[in-house]
Amino acid sequence: MSSKLQLWSVLILLLGGLTSCASGNIASQSPIHSDQPESTAITSPEPVTTPTTIPTPTATVTPEVIQKTYQMNKNYFIVPKVDSDNKKVVLLTFDDGPKEKPMIDEIINILDKHNAKAIFFVNGYRIKQNPDLLKLIFDRGQIIGNHSWDHINLKKENNETITKQIMDVQDIVKELTGITPEFFRPPFGTANDYIKELVKNEHMLYMTWSNGSLDWESSYKNKPLEIIKSVMEQLESGKNNILMHELPWTVIALDSLLQQIEEKGYFFVDPRAIDLEVKPD
């Protein structure tokens, strides 16, 4: 019990440090607060300096090219296309957002720290409430996936409703980011043939998951160490499609979790490296 408490304290300290780092970043990027007294600006004027550096022309920037070296199999495992390639690969996914800016900022700060990309499987009704948060995820280079509009059990709906639940998310994401999602995950991991066919026709890759963090279970609420344990116990070469959620205890677990995954010799696949043309077998 005492060692658990110590670990917890370390996690809290780590999070505290990360949070302050994150807020430092935010502050440094923010414009000058309008509620600052004007006298501050008058009494300490900025010295006039001539820029000495020559700006780099943006036209020379070449777009990032991602090689499609991975594919998904019928068990939703992410595997290399060439059998001899590295199988110690992990796909990270976060479902049910976008909810809150502090959580998204922190998740992406941690992903950036580990040079990792993830799929954020989003719901339309949440995008409607927080369009800026969807843009934030996209602008920070993470991948958007479709998780239906209302997070209902699609299998219980008629085809017309199913189509609307899926296509309205495609439309709002396209409207806000200019791209349409290429990955689909049904709420509760359950679907019928109509849903799978529609997803395929819309050029999306249908997936559930293979490694559930269990962060959605009530018994895992506020238990980041248990979430880490759950994922690590399921980690297996060639079989890692990890389901997490935008939840506070998952955010607390994340940095340590990613570190432990890396220490076991795994790397995080860029979702854009998954070849959508290869049919799961």
**Site membership for Zn ion, residue 270 (CB under 5 A):** no
Q: How far is the CB of 68 from Zn ion (least distance, A)?
A: 27
Question: Residues 187 to 206: which contact Zn ion by CB under 5 A?
Answer: 187
CA distance 202 to 181: 9
Strand ranges in 26-177 using DSSP code E only, listed in sequence order: 70-72, 78-80, 89-97, 118-122, 143-146
Looking at 89-97, 163-171, 207-215, 236-244, which segment touches Zn ion (CB under 5 A)? 89-97
**Site membership for Zn ion, residue 182 (CB under 5 A):** no
Size of the site for Zn ion (CB under 5 A): 3
Name the nearest CA neighbour of 120 among 147, 151, 152: 147
Question: What is the secondary structure of 24-36 as a DSSP string?
Answer: HHHHHHSPPPTTS
Which residue, 185 or 239, has its beta carbon nearer to Zn ion?
A: 185
Which residue, 24 or 189, has its beta carbon nearer to Zn ion?
A: 189
Looking at 17-25, 107-115, 179-187, 234-242, which segment touches Zn ion (CB under 5 A)? 179-187
CB atoms within 10 A of CB 108: 22
Looking at 44-52, 58-66, 95-103, 268-276, which segment touches Zn ion (CB under 5 A)? 95-103
CA distance 145 to 208: 12
CA distance 185 to 194: 14
Q: How far is the CB of 153 from Zn ion (least distance, A)?
A: 11
Question: Residues 104 to 123: which contact Zn ion by CB under 5 A?
Answer: none
Which residue, 151 or 272, has its beta carbon nearer to Zn ion?
A: 151
* Residues facing residue 242 across a β-bridge: 92, 211
* Amino acid, res. 59: A
> Considering only residues 70, 96, 148, 240, which one is a binding residue for Zn ion as defined by CB under 5 A?
96
**Site membership for Zn ion, residue 95 (CB under 5 A):** yes
Q: Are 147 and 187 in contact (CB under 8 A)?
A: yes
Q: What angle do CA 209, 212, 213 make, to 5 degrees?
A: 145
Q: How far is the CB of 99 from Zn ion (least distance, A)?
A: 12
Q: Report the residue closest to Zn ion, judged by CB.
A: 95
Which residue, 114 or 155, has its beta carbon nearer to Zn ion?
A: 155
CA distance 14 to 224: 13
Which residue, 70 or 147, has its beta carbon nearer to Zn ion?
A: 147
Looking at 9-17, 42-50, 88-96, 100-108, which segment touches Zn ion (CB under 5 A)? 88-96
List phi, psi (to 5°) of 211: -130, 100
Which residue, 121 or 266, has its beta carbon nearer to Zn ion?
A: 121
Name the nearest CA neighbour of 180 among 194, 201, 195: 201
Which residue, 97 or 224, has its beta carbon nearer to Zn ion?
A: 97
Which residue, 79 or 122, has its beta carbon nearer to Zn ion?
A: 122
* Helix (H) or strand (E) run with residue 184 in it: strand 183-184
Residues in contact with Zn ion by CB under 5 A are 95-96, 187
